[in-house]
Structure formats: C-alpha cells, structure tokens
Amino acid sequence: MKRSFVPGIIDVTRVSDADEIRKLVEDQRLDRKFDSRWPLLNAVFLRRVLQALSFGGHRFPTLRAREDDERAGNQSALWNQLNRRAAALNAANPDVGSLAQWVVGSGSDEELGILTQQAIGRLFVETYTSDSESWKAARLLASAPQAKGLSKFSPRFRRKVVRAKELLAAKVNGDLAGVHGTGVAIHNVVKGFHRMRQLYRDITVRKQASADAIVAECLSAPAMVLRQATENGSAPGCPYRKGAIFLLELAAAQTKANAMDMVFLERAWSRCPADRWVPALFQSVWKSANIGNP
C-alpha cells in the first residue's frame, strides 16, 4: 500500500497486492457511496470521475453503493441474462464469426473496436449496430476520467464527453450498464482480442495451447477500481479516516500468481455480471478462428 496523506489536502491509498485487495473489498467501511467531499483533492478527483461516469443525473453501476438495492437487483438480473447468452455462444453466432476473422486476418484496430462494441451492444439491444462514431465515443469516454492538464476543465471537452454518452446511451435505450459495457468495459475486451491475435500468429502456441489457457492469457483486469471510507477504520497495517480514497490497482495485482480473481472480482459484492460471458466469448472466438486453420 502506498498512501499520499496531507491533512485537509489529500488522503489517497494505492493498493496493488492481491491479498490486500481481497481484504479491502470485503471491508464494510469501504464503499462506493462517494458522499464524503473531504479532503480537498479527494473531492476534486471524485467530482471529475463522477461527472465523467454519470449520465442523466445517474451514476454508472460501477460507481453505485454496495447497499443500493436497485444496483444489486440489476447486477444479478444482468448476470443471469449474460450467463444464458454465454451458454448459447458458438461458431454459428455472427459476432463470433466476425471477431474470429479479425483474429486470423489483418483488420484494423478500429474494425476490432466496432465489432466488439456490436457484440456487447447486442446483449442489450438485439439490433445494435456499431460504427466509427460510436467506437470513437467509447474511446473518448474511457479517456474522460483520466484527462490531464487543462483539457479536463475545458467546456469543449466536457461537451464532447456528454455527446459521447448521449450517443452510447441512445443505442442501448438508456441502460447505464449498457453504456458502461459498450463505452468503458469494452476496452478490456478489445485488449483481449489484440492478445489473441498475437497468440494466434505464434504457430507453436496455436498448436499446443488449450483453449482455456488462451482465454486466461486474454483476460485482463481493469487498471483500477475505487472505494471510499465511510468511517474511520483500519486495514492490516493501514489505519484510515473517513473520506479516504482507495485505488485498488487490479491490473497490477493480476500479474502475480493465483490472482485471476482480480479480473472480475467474482468473489466480491461488486462482481462483474459479465464474468462468464467474456471468457465464453473469447473461447468461442478462439475455437472459431482455429476451425479450418489448424
């Protein structure tokens, strides 16, 4: 753990150890309520993230509190729905076929972004179609919470982010899990397909690795997730105060042995509803890519 602490100014702890993250996500006093606006720089940081990842006055599901019943209900309904979709995935699925063609071929990054967005969007609206504009909106949205320098304060940049969210939201009938999936989470899925193409091009790997091993190679955790202390407390070796922000650096933690649970946090209350669908998609695409190309 690495804490930046100046009383009244900043209280942020970065955590990149998988065991420490597992304990912190279980801690009832660390939540996603984000209602404490103190110390000063914590408030500035939170305002920026919440502004970027909210739409129509509502926060994206990844920024909603543990005890928010509506969030929890949506999470489990989406998990059930995506598991049904995962079970039905196979080489006959058109999205699987197009993604497999991208893996074996030489299509561009943009083509991959569009195909991936379409596959995710169709989980929410069967007729979802993606294009350059909606893929551009996803790239802009992902960059918004991390925008650096003066650009983050520019009204022009903010208007562009609002327009990006409007476009993505309209395509999924305003479902914010859909906006998160097609605008934010999509980037980890895209990263997985880039890795899959590299693996496919290595003839030894292609012949010898199991589909499960390929899927594990292609799964990567989000860079980080956020929590804030709702009261004073203490984690092993780390007393904390109300308002303290924790940046749980899942991607860094995943690089250590036995830390695949960092990818979807599937043992935590906040677990990803796509924790089975994404691996099933990777598996179907890999198998489809190898049909006829052994």
Interface with ligand HEM includes 263 (CB under 6 A)?
yes
Residue the block writes with tokens 């198998």: 287
Q: Which range touches ligand HEM (CB under 6 A), out of 136-144, 162-170, 195-203, 267-275?
A: 267-275
Closest CA to 227 of 212, 243, 245: 245
Closest CA to 253 of 11, 15, 5, 38: 15
Interface with ligand HEM includes 196 (CB under 6 A)?
no
The residue within the footprint of ligand HEM, chosen from 59, 165, 171, 180 (CB under 6 A), is 180
User: In the 8-state DSSP scheme, what is residue 256?
Assistant: S
Residue 252 CA, distance from chain mean position? 15
Closest CA to 138 of 99, 167, 95: 167
Interface with ligand HEM includes 221 (CB under 6 A)?
yes
Interface with ligand HEM includes 244 (CB under 6 A)?
no
Shortest spacing between CB 178 and ligand HEM, in angstroms? 7
Interface with ligand HEM includes 121 (CB under 6 A)?
no
Q: Cis bond leading into 145, ω under 30°?
A: no
Q: Which range touches ligand HEM (CB under 6 A), out of 130-138, 201-209, 233-241, 269-277?
A: 269-277
Q: 59: which strand partners?
A: 54
Nearer to ligand HEM, 181 or 243 (CB): 181
Interface with ligand HEM includes 96 (CB under 6 A)?
no
Interface with ligand HEM includes 179 (CB under 6 A)?
no
Interface with ligand HEM includes 118 (CB under 6 A)?
no
Interface with ligand HEM includes 245 (CB under 6 A)?
no
Interface with ligand HEM includes 52 (CB under 6 A)?
no
Size of the site for ligand HEM (CB under 6 A): 26
Q: How many Cα atoms occupy the beta-carbon half-sphere of 293 within 13 Å? A: 16
Q: Cis bond leading into 294, ω under 30°?
A: no
Interface with ligand HEM includes 199 (CB under 6 A)?
no
Cβ atoms of 36 and 7 closer than 8 Å: no
- State the Cα torsion 285-287-291-294 to the nearest 10°: 120
Interface with ligand HEM includes 86 (CB under 6 A)?
no
Interface with ligand HEM includes 183 (CB under 6 A)?
no
Helix (H, G, I), strand (E, B) or coil at 219: coil
Query: What is the binding site for ligand HEM (CB under 6 A)?
Result: 61-62, 71, 75, 120, 123, 177, 180-181, 185, 188-189, 192, 221-222, 225, 250, 263-265, 268, 270, 272-274, 278
